[in-house]
Amino acid sequence: MNDFPFGLVGFDLDGTLVDSVADLAAAVNHALAEIGRPPLTIEQVRPMIGGGSRVMLQQALTATGGDERLDDLLPEMLAFYAAHIVDHTRPFPGVLEALDALRKLGITLAVVTNKRERFSLALLDALGLTDRFSCIIGGDTPGLVAMKPDRAPIDLLLRKCGNSGPAAFVGDSIYDVDAARAAGVPVALFAPDGGGVPGANAVFADYRDLLPTLTRMAKAQPTI
């Protein structure tokens, strides 16, 4: 037994566990180039990430002149991304150590992302991360009725792994915060560049601080 306050910790993927913005931006720019649009910078693409591939491309198209070609370009973008999924994507510093520390305590770990399941699995497999997680829920996982910020993905997580004990969620965006809070799960926000999202129960900037952050977050909750 241990006195860690959570038995289950779920994580978002892009922007939370892995820094994937360069590969996502390359895929977006490949789609834009197909219709002669100018490329976007990584910093322009970064805030477009989190709502799933369709939302990301729609925002990129809107920013460069209109989204009337969205349905045509989405398969092009996804095919390019599948071929370049970990060209530059890497876990954030300290992620592996934090995950392994949680597992050593017997904590059940999961991924809940709006990224399509096949891409989520391919990315995690390529980085050697898959085996660290008891379940992986993507934006199109069977049984899922809606993506974050809807609470449905967190509810599915709890149905699959909820017997592990009290749950917490770790994310980096308003999609994560809104979904977790709607499901009644406390949420810690990973914000390596500072800032925050309204509604987060806690904020941390370095994965070396993840376990202490979760512990402090639990103590601040009236019930867990």
Which is the catalytic residue, given 12, 172, 176, 178?
A: 12
Nearest to 221 by CA among 181, 191, 192, 189: 181
Catalytic site includes residue 12:
yes
- CA-based radius of gyration for the chain: 17
- Name every residue whose Cβ is closer than 8 Å to that of residue 35 and which is 6 or more positions away in sequence: 69, 73
Q: What is the set of active-site residues? A: 12
